[in-house]
Amino acid sequence: MSDLLSKLMAERDWLMADGATGTTLFNMGLQSGDAPELWNVDHPDRIAKLYQGAVDAGSDIFLTNSFGGTRARLKLHNAQDRAHELSQRAAEIGREVADKAGRPVVVAGSMGPTGEIMVPMGALTHASAVEMFHEQAEGLKAGGADVLWVETISSDEEFKAAAEAAKLADMPWCGTMSFDTAGRTMMGFTSADLAALVARLDHPPLAFGANCGVGASDLLRTVLGFRASGTEIPYIAKGNAGIPKYVDGHIHYDGTPDLMAKYAVLARDAGAKIIGGCCGTQAEHLKAMRKALEETPRGPAPTLDRIAAEIGGFSSDSDGTGDNEPSGRRTRRRSRG
């Protein structure tokens, strides 16, 4: 257990991760449609400021600006051959910020989805997914990332490919999925499915969980799903600060710092070891979350009713793990031999 994240998880009751990357970069002038990863080279000062903001707000972990750093995603900007370089720079800038923080701060190398659908439905093969994630992982490793952080995944195949890439790069990793469709991922994967998948992996993550999705309440329901699975691997809650609204040419999330503070405490009480935000979560949200986590004594795991009462209701009646499932799945065709 030589890596920093494992060490901190062993020492601490909870850890706070960071908040939004995209939202923050927009506020710094990123234009819609441009690749945030190019800023690692073109505007390293702004990326350092992004990381510093999370550190100053009390994050123990921050994610590098490399979410769209796989070859598949960079191809859009004709930067596919810079996958290693851009991820390496993302981590190097992070390393500098973390090393002068005056306390242990984990540099987590963000790896987002390739954006492609895997075979047989799509064209992306397992081997090429592993290769793309591995290429990015080596860049992040070379830049000094403490851990790889795979996020916003929707398919189990892609999650497995990322796990394999982490193994090839010989790096510890964390992985989260986005449960944004009636409590499941877009591909229909439930919180229970993910807990079961993680337990089967050859190179299991240090922690796994949920990020992004639809609002903080849904995310907590997913966390309760991890809890109910009885998993022994620590889990992560990284929810959005409410719902996006369009104000004066910018995307603004309607979740207040107060709401995110409540969400953070509920997430911890629900059993999450690592708690952070995602889209819309700014420094003031993180500060409120940190304060609430420090000042609020640990309570019992919340019920769904309590979550709804404290921070609002859910986007769907069920999330695929309980008893009140929609029962309409039609019967499959009889065999035709």
- Taking CB under 8 A as the binding criterion, the range among 72-80, 140-148, 284-292, 301-309 that sits at the site for another protein is 72-80
Q: Least distance (Å) from another protein to the CB of residue 25?
A: 7
Rounded CA gap, 106 and 60, in Å?
Answer: 6
HEC string for 222-258: HHHHHHHCCCCCCEEEEECCCCEEEECCEEEECCCHH
Q: Rounded to 5 degrees, what are φ and ψ at 330?
A: -75, 155
Cα-based distances in Å from 294 to 9, 127, 307: 16, 44, 20
Rounded CA gap, 229 and 97, in Å?
Answer: 37
- Binding flag, residue 333, another protein (CB under 8 A): yes
- Binding flag, residue 251, another protein (CB under 8 A): yes
Q: Least distance (Å) from another protein to the CB of residue 11?
A: 34
Q: Which is nearer to another protein, 76 or 127 (CB)?
A: 76
Interhelix angle 215-228/191-200, rounded to 10 degrees, is 50
Q: Which is nearer to another protein, 87 or 154 (CB)?
A: 154
Q: Least distance (Å) from another protein to the CB of residue 281?
A: 12
- Binding flag, residue 76, another protein (CB under 8 A): yes
Rounded CA gap, 25 and 289, in Å?
Answer: 21
Q: Least distance (Å) from another protein to the CB of residue 102?
A: 32
- Binding flag, residue 150, another protein (CB under 8 A): no
Rounded CA gap, 280 and 58, in Å?
Answer: 17
CA-based nearest residue to 63, from 76, 53, 75, 72: 53
- Binding flag, residue 23, another protein (CB under 8 A): yes
Q: Which residues contact 291 (CB under 8 A, 6 or more apart)?
A: 261
Q: Least distance (Å) from another protein to the CB of residue 130?
A: 19
- Binding flag, residue 12, another protein (CB under 8 A): no
- Binding flag, residue 72, another protein (CB under 8 A): yes
Q: Which of residues 160-189 bind another protein (CB under 8 A)?
A: 180-188
Cα-based distances in Å from 91 to 62, 133, 270, 282: 10, 15, 31, 21
- Binding flag, residue 329, another protein (CB under 8 A): yes
- Binding flag, residue 332, another protein (CB under 8 A): yes
For residue 120, cis peptide bond before it (omega within 30 degrees of 0): yes
Rounded CA gap, 326 and 246, in Å?
Answer: 33
- Binding flag, residue 336, another protein (CB under 8 A): yes
Q: Which is nearer to another protein, 71 or 290 (CB)?
A: 71
- Binding flag, residue 245, another protein (CB under 8 A): yes
- Binding flag, residue 125, another protein (CB under 8 A): no
- Binding flag, residue 324, another protein (CB under 8 A): no
Q: Which is nearer to another protein, 6 or 27 (CB)?
A: 27
Q: Which is nearer to another protein, 52 or 240 (CB)?
A: 240
DSSP 105-163: -EEEEEE---S-PBTTTSSB-HHHHHHHHHHHHHHHHHTT-SEEEEEEE--HHHHHHHH
For residue 150, give both structure tokens.
């795979």
Q: Least distance (Å) from another protein to the CB of residue 6?
A: 31
Where do contacts with another protein occur on this chain (CB under 8 A)?
A: 22-23, 25-26, 30, 32-36, 72-73, 75-77, 115-117, 121-122, 154, 180-188, 243-247, 249-251, 279, 316, 318, 320, 326, 328-337
